[in-house]
Amino acid sequence: MSSCRSALGLAMTALLSIGAASSALAQAKPGYPGIGRAATPQEVAAWDIDVRPDFKGLPPGSGSVAKGQEVWEGKCAACHGVFGESNEVFNPLVGGTTADDVRNGRVATLRAGGYPGRTTLMKVSSVSTLWDYINRAMPWTQPKSLSVGEVYAATAYLLHLGGVLPSDFTLSDKNMAEVQQRLPNRNGMTTEHALWPGKELGGKSKPDVTAPACMKDCAAETKASTIPDHARGLHGNLAEQNRTVGPQRGADTRARP
């Protein structure tokens, strides 16, 4: 009997010790005690790479337009074209902007509606967006493989292609805020449209978040997006290029008589 009491006492002591240790751990690390561990500063730094529109998070460095051309031709041109015109898979990055747009900060062709497509430099409103995306996602086959200097250089070359920077310019963390003041669509960001296509293109001024059911005189067809006539058929019949799985189908863009 005494041996049983001793064993029971040892077991209770062990349980109390485990409980005390767990309690101490829970107090030291609130949330999910005993699961995982706190990330090290080095691990956090490896993921904390975003760059905000106010340029917070932008690492120190620089890159020239000339160096950017080397980077571009070696690691970017295969998908985006030597001059940013892109290939049949990707949309053009450059085009549709003018010297007046650089001065005014608003791209006129976005409202004109006659330009065949929307390029990156027509839409983007912050240089930090270009830098951040190139840094985290490019090249497509090897994302995050570019050095900080190469990202600066590639960004500078892209802006040079769009007529924003001269050929002898060197982009850096020190002058990016100044370059921002030359971006063609820097003043073009708006929240008035709520959802695409926006008031300027005949859309709604407020998003439909209630989705009321139509019970009378309902529209026969609801269009989620539109293709301007001048752009239809540029890449063949979209209806024949979409997957056959799921409800979404491409529009019939065959040439019309």
pLDDT at 22 over 60: no
The dotted CATH code for 58-180 is 1.10.760.10
How far, in Å, are 12, 117, 120, 128, 232 from residue 203 at the CA level?
A: 71, 18, 22, 29, 21
User: Cα 24 vs. chain centroid, distance in angstroms?
Assistant: 43
Phi, psi of 28 (to 5 degrees): -75, -35
How far apart are the C-alpha atoms of 106 and 104, rounded to whole Å? 6
pLDDT digit string (tens) for 102-148? 999 999 988 876 777 789 999 999 999 999 999 999 999 999 999 99
Q: What ranges do the domains of the chain cover?
A: 58-180
> pLDDT grade, residue 28 (50/70/90)?
very low
Percent of the chain with pLDDT over 70: 73
> Structure tokens of 158?
């892209």
